[in-house]
Amino acid sequence: MANPIRVAVTGAAGNISYSILFRLASGAIFGPDRPVHLKLLEIPPAMKALNGVVMELNDCAFPTLAGIDITDKAETAFDGVNWAILVGSKPRGPGMERGDLIRENGPIFVGQGKALNKAASDVRCIVVGNPCNTNCLIAMKNSDVGNDRFSAMMRLDQNRAQSLLAEKSGRTVKEVTNMVIWGNHSNNQYPDCENVRIGGKPATEVIGDKEWLLGDFIKTVQNRGADVIKARGASSAASAANAALDHLLSLARPTAAGDWFSAAVCSDGQYGVDKELIFGYPLTSPGDGTWKVVEGLPMSDWAKGKFEKVLNELREEREFVKGLL
């Protein structure tokens, strides 16, 4: 067997991680021939629960699980890892916006950015903990492993959008391609209904109901996290875990020709976004962890209005955390 791939997961005793870890360990993500070594980070009060998760992982007797380390020290968790999935942080409750979590969760990513710095030279870091774009910005600015190694998760929004469009058009999810969620993982995100395709054709042609596309479709994707919280009494977990792994795989496997995927990455000014904001873009990857922004997508004036709104929101979040950058 090949050398183990080393994956750090923070908040490892939490709800999302409970749906991530078993899939990582089972070989479902990196394949049956690639052993996985898990490095799990928690805060001291959650170490007992984490021990229980480790018992369960061991009890699965996964042939691909090469080892598990648990720790409450970020530097130990990140030491030598290839991937770091940063989940550990507080979820929002009913009536809160994701941005309301900045004050509590932002500081976590200062320490973790610094720890990545010391421990990991060849790491790809995926930020899930909310507000994930700005937490990612904080981790990136506190680290020197390289801005291109950080990304934040827009994939749950992409998956939600694809699923809604498949249902509305009566087509399969696989036929819905080229879905980009611009900007922020917030209720101001802009799920692009002008560039998405269904069966290779513009969704605007396939779905005659333009009012739905510009109205209910966008609102449903924007508010889905809050709707799940209202219904479940808890933040999305299984679908978030699934999206985190989809995000990882989109970086670890080549993007299908002509398609793209959504993730928030460090802007280099593409589409007029301020440099270094962590902005949701259409991306492609050759499958080695690197990515490129797809440039030149057209946008109507109506779409530009949505784009500007979410861009301004990210600027405000950056201003709010400037003391942490």
Which is it for strands 292-293 and 278-284: parallel, antiparallel or unpaired?
antiparallel
* Rounded distance between C-alpha atoms, residue 132 and residue 128, angstroms: 5
Q: Rounded to an integer, what is the distance from CA 214 to the centroid of its chain?
A: 24
Does 236 participate in binding ligand LMR (rule CB under 6 A)?
A: yes
How far apart are CB 46 and ligand NAD at their closest, in Å? 4
Does 92 participate in binding ligand NAD (rule CB under 6 A)?
A: yes
* Rounded distance between C-alpha atoms, residue 15 and residue 125, angstroms: 20
User: Which residue is associated with the tokens 């101001």?
Assistant: 188
185 an active-site residue?
yes
Map residue 109 onto helix, strand or coil. helix
Interface residue with ligand LMR among 113, 129, 225, 280 (CB under 6 A) is: 225
Binding pattern to ligand NAD, positions 15-44, x when CB under 6 A? xx------------------------xxx-
Q: For ligand NAD, which stretch binds (CB under 6 A), given 59-67, 85-93, 196-204, 301-309?
A: 85-93
For ligand LMR, the closer of residues 183 and 225 by Cβ is: 225
Does 189 participate in binding ligand LMR (rule CB under 6 A)?
A: no
Does 98 participate in binding ligand LMR (rule CB under 6 A)?
A: yes
Binding partner of residue 280 among ligand LMR, ligand NAD, none, CB under 5 to 8 Å per kind? none
* Rounded distance between C-alpha atoms, residue 92 and residue 146, angstroms: 30
* Rounded distance between C-alpha atoms, residue 21 and residue 41, angstroms: 12
For ligand LMR, the closer of residues 9 and 221 by Cβ is: 221
How far apart are CB 111 and ligand NAD at their closest, in Å? 7
- CB-CB contact of 285 with 188 (8 Å): no
Map residue 70 onto helix, strand or coil. strand
* Rounded distance between C-alpha atoms, residue 198 and residue 206, angstroms: 7
Q: For ligand LMR, which stretch binds (CB under 6 A), given 80-88, 110-118, 233-241, 295-303?
A: 233-241
- Of 220, 216, 225, 213, nearest to 303 (Cα)? 213
Within 170-233, residue ranges assigned H as helices are 203-206, 210-212, 218-232
Contact set with ligand LMR (CB under 6 A): 91-92, 98, 130, 156, 225-226, 228, 235-236, 240
Contact set with ligand NAD (CB under 6 A): 10-11, 13-16, 41-43, 46, 87-92, 105, 108, 128-130, 132, 153, 156, 185, 235-237, 240
Residues annotated as catalytic are 185
